[in-house]
């Protein structure tokens, strides 16, 4: 039961993240806002990381750090900035399902670069995600 | 070619009733949202491989990534924050709360994945857009309108995401 509660809390956290950005309004530049949010995320994550996993820090190789550096670039200057810019333009409710389609992109990348083969369930899920995105994007008078 | 022209014409018609600036803003918003989804998807693929290959605990991994993120944004912190503190402290506080919410979400997700399989955790986490919809409907009705079409779209995306995640990990 605990893992499900934690997963629900994670879902609530991700949802609130977009809502707060929407509430922030247009007065602060997206890049500045994203920078502040990354600092806030770090302050929340650093204590459990130090308390629970500090010895493991010494075991991370240079290559491991370089991969994390690349991932940080993909996630924060690219992913989070675009996420916030999207919320500012179309609102939290419409933007959330768009970046929640990330598992679809994971599968597309895995098929393209890792040679994985999608099964029926993945193909059906992909069709559902694309249909949902098309419904949201093509809706008339969305405001 | 005819199909492409038809699609272009349909897209133009759908947005024809809106002023040009609004149309542009909306289209870029949708494109940015999809691009964010793409980058998060890429992150998922590379992060899974990196965590497994280098045996890095997920919370430590996220924290080191946040540190690198802060370094990358350092110029914007130095130049943007003093100005933003004068312009709107409220907006800045909202962005900080957004970071706290997503940081907490990542920690909760890491602990959850330590205790249960991804097939249990991922479908639960993917209901996040539905929670957003409920919060917007209850607390932000004047800012955003929740329509039946939007609800249907979100349900399709959430359902499809669950199917993709389960299909990718179980079958």
What are A108-121's pLDDT values in tens digits? 877 887 777 788 88
Residues sharing a CB contact under 8 Å with residue B92, sequence separation 6 or more, in sequence order: A24, A28, A32, A33, A36, B81, B84, B85
What would the pLDDT profile of A9-38 be if each residue is shown by its tens digit? 999 999 999 999 999 988 899 999 999 999
Asked whether the ipTM of the predicted complex exceeds the cut of 0.90, the reply is no
Q: Looking at the predicted structure, is the pLDDT value of residue B120 above 70?
A: yes
Task: Note whether B105 contacts A13, CB cutoff 8 Å.
Answer: yes
% pLDDT > 70, chain A = 97
In this model, does residue A6 exceed pLDDT 70? yes
Chain A nearest CA to B3, separation (Å) = 16
pLDDT tens profile A26-77: 889 999 999 999 999 999 999 989 998 888 888 888 998 999 999 999 989 9
Q: How far is B2 from chain A (nearest CA, A)?
A: 20
Query: Within an 8 Å CB–CB cutoff, is residue B6 touching chain A?
Result: no
A61 contacts in chain B (CB < 8 Å): 54
Suggest the residue from A93, A111, A138 to mutate for an interface test with chain B (most B CBs closer than 10 A): A93
Closest-CA residue to B155 (of A136, A89, A88, A103)? A136
C-beta separation of A101 from A133 below 8 A: yes
> With bands split at pLDDT 50, 70 and 90, how would you rate the model's confidence at B6?
low
């Amino acid at each position: 039961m605990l893992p499900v509660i934690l997963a629900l809390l994670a879902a609530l956290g991700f949802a609130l993240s977009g809502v707060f950005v929407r509430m922030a309004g247009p007065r602060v530049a997206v890049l500045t806002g994203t920078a502040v949010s990354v600092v806030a995320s770090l302050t929340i994550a650093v204590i459990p990381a130090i308390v629970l996993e500090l010895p493991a820090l010494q075991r991370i190789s240079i290559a491991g750090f370089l991969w994390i550096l690349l991932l940080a670039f993909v996630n924060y200057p690219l992913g989070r900035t675009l996420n916030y810019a999207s919320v500012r333009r179309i609102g939290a409710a419409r933007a959330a399902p768009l970046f929640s389609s990330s598992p679809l992109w994971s599968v597309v990348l895995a098929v393209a670069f890792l040679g994985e083969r999608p099964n029926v369930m993945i193909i059906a899920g992909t069709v559902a995600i694309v249909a949902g995105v098309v419904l949201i994007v093509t809706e008339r008078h969305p405001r | 070619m005819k199909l492409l022209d038809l699609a272009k014409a349909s897209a133009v018609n759908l947005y024809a009733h809106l002023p040009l600036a609004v149309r542009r803003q909306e289209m870029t918003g949708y494109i940015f949202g999809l691009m964010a989804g793409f980058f998060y998807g890429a992150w998922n693929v590379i992060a899974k491989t990196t965590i497994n290959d280098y045996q890095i605990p997920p919370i430590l991994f996220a924290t080191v990534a946040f540190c690198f993120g802060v370094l990358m944004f350092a110029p914007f912190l130095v130049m943007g924050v003093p100005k933003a503190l004068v312009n709107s402290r409220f907006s800045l506080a909202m962005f900080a709360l957004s970071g706290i919410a997503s940081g907490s979400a990542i920690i909760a997700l890491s602990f959850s994945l330590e205790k249960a399989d991804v097939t249990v955790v991922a479908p639960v986490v993917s209901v996040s857009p539905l929670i957003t919809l409920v919060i917007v409907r209850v607390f932000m009705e004047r800012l955003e309108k929740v329509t039946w079409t939007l609800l249907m779209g979100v349900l399709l995306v959430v359902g499809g995401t669950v199917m993709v995640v389960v299909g990718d990990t179980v079958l």
